[in-house]
């Protein structure tokens, strides 16, 4: 619910519509502007270990893995991570996904 004091609840409720929006190719700014610009700045990632913090539905995490990075995705929303793990099962790229608060990443210590 928008306006909630619980950001995790807000993102959990928005997870499915957001994932659908992105996966249907409707996030034009990310697909045509933000993404190409960010990946141009990042450069070559093959062989790198990359943390995608606030990975959302995992679009960028999957792009990085396809470019040869060992990627891990972290998001605060349990529902987002549930959805992205379903996507990983369909298209296995070897990505590990974790629910964690960006201010406390102990949940991913085994990956570090």
* pTM, full prediction: 0.82
Q: Which strand ranges, in their side-by-side order, compose the sheet holding 70-75? A: 49-53, 70-75, 96-99
- Whether 16 and 83 have beta carbons less than 8 Å apart is answered as yes
pLDDT bracket for residue 3 (50, 70, 90): low
Q: Which domains does the chain have, with CATH numbers?
A: 7-108 (3.40.50.150)
Q: What is the pLDDT of residue 2?
A: 58
**pLDDT of 57-111, one tens digit each?**
999 999 999 999 999 999 999 999 999 999 999 999 999 999 998 888 887 877 7
Q: What is the pLDDT of residue 99?
A: 92
107 CB-near residues (< 8 Å, 6+ apart): 74, 98, 99, 100
What is the DSSP secondary structure assignment for residue 86, as one 8-state letter?
A: H
3-class state of residue 89 by DSSP: helix
Q: What is the pLDDT of residue 80?
A: 94
Q: How many CA atoms lie within 13 A of 29 on its CB side?
A: 0
**pLDDT of 19-65, one tens digit each?**
888 888 888 888 888 889 999 999 999 999 999 999 999 999 999 99
CA distance 23 to 15: 12
């Amino acid at each position: 619910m928008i306006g909630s004091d619980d950001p995790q609840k807000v993102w959990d409720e928005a997870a499915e519509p957001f994932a659908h929006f992105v996966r249907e190719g409707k996030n034009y700014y990310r697909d045509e502007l933000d993404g190409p610009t960010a990946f141009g700045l990042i450069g070559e990632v093959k062989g790198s270990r990359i943390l995608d913090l606030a990975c959302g539905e995992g679009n960028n995490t999957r792009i990085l893995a396809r470019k040869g990075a060992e990627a891990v995705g972290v998001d605060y929303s349990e529902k987002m991570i549930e959805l992205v793990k379903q996507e990983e099962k369909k298209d296995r790229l070897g990505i590990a996904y974790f629910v964690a608060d960006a201010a406390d990443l102990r949940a991913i210590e085994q990956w570090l």
